[in-house]
């Protein structure tokens, strides 16, 4: 079979061929005497749409390559299959490192890892995948009660004591944005300061353990100066069930991204490019292209905020009127126009682009902004006509190129 025919068999196809001389060793001398020629070949065709790491890794074991004839062995496989084997090895190294850290320190038990395009095993039914990244455009839907003052209002007011500018697009005042963006760890500190009366996750449970496990692997490469990654409001106990769009988990992710810029952490992939392994990334380039986060405040069509610290700022803020039910926002990002021209407003996810005078990127099916670009944290000051006080909602936009981990999880155990 030719190599071109091999490649046509599909991404999960692997052909292994061994050609070697069976050696006999004279126990009294060091050179090998090759006396018998043996050749054998095997075709392993496992073209499943979702390759299984444990099964494919076991397929290699028939080969028995070792010792003095290792250089005579040959493996032929498609580039996709070879990439999968590299991924399997990378996550295997990560799990081994986690086991070592668990034995030598107080690190949590290892997490079973997999990839976006392969599963860890097919021997257990109902295994799902839990990514560590918050996604391209997470929106925090929990919001405080408008019947009382929202402590997050004071945080936003304090931010906008700093120099800021109007964002005007198509002759419409869209909002306000800080003139200087935040670095990754500063953006993490900001998110950790947000508080919610009905959402207080804790530092115990599987979600917290996953973060401690990643932190232990990062710390094994170089001592972390900004630990822990995950800093939920309840520092003892499980607290509320964690959400996927959780401000404290997003803050942990930003700290992981910052730490990963100087560490080739195994078991991590790259957002927007899930076939790329972080341990093989050019870290100098990653550091140079690290995102900063622009802090914006989006205005709405509601009444002008007239009480509280936001009313004391030297510019007027018109509230948004997003619908809220039982402490949850029912609308998130504002309306968008994917066909908007260069002088028109495409949508809130590109709010910072208009301030920076940058070209708004073409719509991506994944939602990620281009790798190497900045991110944003966009606040909405929400107040319906019957609300006593304004409340704060927040959405974030991430560029591709950040770290990603895929944990295997039981059915029904995923973060909501």
Give the mean pLDDT of 121-130.
79
Residue 32 has pLDDT above 80, yes or no: no
Q: pLDDT tens digits for 338-376?
A: 888 888 999 999 999 999 999 998 877 778 999 999 999
Residue 134 has pLDDT above 60, yes or no: yes
Give the mean pLDDT of 393-397.
97
Residue 28 has pLDDT above 70, yes or no: no
Taking the C-alpha atoms of residue 289 and residue 281, their distance in angstroms, rounded to an integer, is: 12
Strand partners, 16: 42, 75
| pLDDT recorded at residue 36 | 45
Taking the C-alpha atoms of residue 115 and residue 129, their distance in angstroms, rounded to an integer, is: 8
118 — pLDDT class (breaks 50, 70, 90): confident
- Spatial CB neighbours of 225, under 8 Å, sequence gap ≥ 6: none
Instruction: Supply the pTM of this predicted model.
Output: 0.86
Q: pLDDT tens digits for 322-337?
A: 999 999 999 999 878 8
Report residue 68 as tokens. Answer: 């003095």
Q: pLDDT tens digits for 243-274?
A: 989 999 999 999 999 999 999 999 999 999 87
Which 3 state secondary structure label does DSSP give 51?
A: coil
Give the mean pLDDT of 62-70.
64
| pLDDT recorded at residue 66 | 63
Strand partners, 391: 382
| pLDDT recorded at residue 189 | 98
| pLDDT recorded at residue 408 | 85
Q: pLDDT tens digits for 135-172?
A: 999 999 999 999 999 999 999 999 999 999 999 999 99
Q: Of 348, 314, 344, nearest to 331 (Cα)?
A: 348
**First-to-last C-alpha distance (Å) of the chain:** 49
Residue 224 has pLDDT above 90, yes or no: yes
């Amino acid at each position: 079979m030719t190599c071109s025919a091999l490649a046509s068999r599909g991404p999960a196809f692997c052909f292994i061929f061994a050609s070697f001389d069976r050696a006999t060793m004279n126990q009294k001398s060091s050179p090998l005497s090759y006396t018998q020629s043996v050749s054998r070949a095997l075709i392993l065709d496992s073209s499943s749409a979702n390759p299984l790491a444990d099964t494919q890794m076991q397929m290699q074991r028939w080969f028995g390559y070792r010792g003095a004839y290792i250089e005579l062995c040959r493996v032929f496989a498609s580039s996709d299959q070879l990439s999968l084997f590299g991924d399997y090895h990378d996550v295997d190294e990560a799990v081994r490192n986690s086991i070592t850290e668990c034995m030598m320190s107080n690190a949590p038990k290892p997490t079973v890892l997999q990839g976006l395009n392969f599963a860890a095993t097919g021997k257990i039914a109902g295994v799902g995948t839990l990514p560590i990244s918050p996604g391209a455009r997470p929106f925090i839907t929990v919001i405080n009660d408008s019947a009382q003052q929202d402590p997050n209002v004071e945080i936003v007011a304090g931010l906008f004591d700093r120099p800021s500018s109007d964002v005007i697009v198509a002759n419409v005042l869209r909002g306000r944005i800080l003139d200087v963006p935040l670095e990754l760890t500063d953006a993490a500190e900001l998110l950790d300061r947000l508080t919610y009366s009905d959402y207080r996750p804790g530092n115990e449970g599987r979600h917290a353990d996953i973060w401690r496990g990643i932190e232990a692997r990062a710390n094994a490469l170089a001592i972390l100066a900004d630990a822990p990654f995950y800093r939920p409001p309840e520092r003892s106990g499980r607290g509320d069930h964690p959400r996927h769009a959780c401000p404290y988990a997003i803050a942990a992710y930003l700290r992981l991204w910052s730490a990963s810029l100087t560490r080739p952490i195994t078991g991590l992939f790259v957002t927007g490019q899930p076939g790329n392994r972080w341990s093989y990334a050019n870290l100098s380039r990653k550091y140079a292209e690290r995102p900063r986060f622009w802090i914006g405040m989006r205005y709405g069509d509601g009444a002008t905020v007239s009480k509280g610290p936001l009313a004391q700022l030297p510019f007027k803020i018109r509230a948004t009127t997003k619908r809220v039910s039982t402490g949850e926002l029912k609308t998130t990002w504002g309306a968008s126009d994917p066909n908007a021209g260069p002088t028109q407003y495409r949508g809130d996810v590109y709010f910072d682009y208009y301030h920076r005078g940058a070209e708004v990127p073409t719509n991506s099916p994944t939602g990620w902004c281009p790798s190497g670009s900045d991110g944003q944290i966009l606040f909405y000051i929400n107040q319906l006509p019957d609300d006593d006080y304004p409340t704060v909602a927040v959405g974030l936009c991430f560029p591709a190129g950040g770290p990603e981990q895929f944990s295997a999880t039981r059915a029904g155990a995923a973060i909501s």
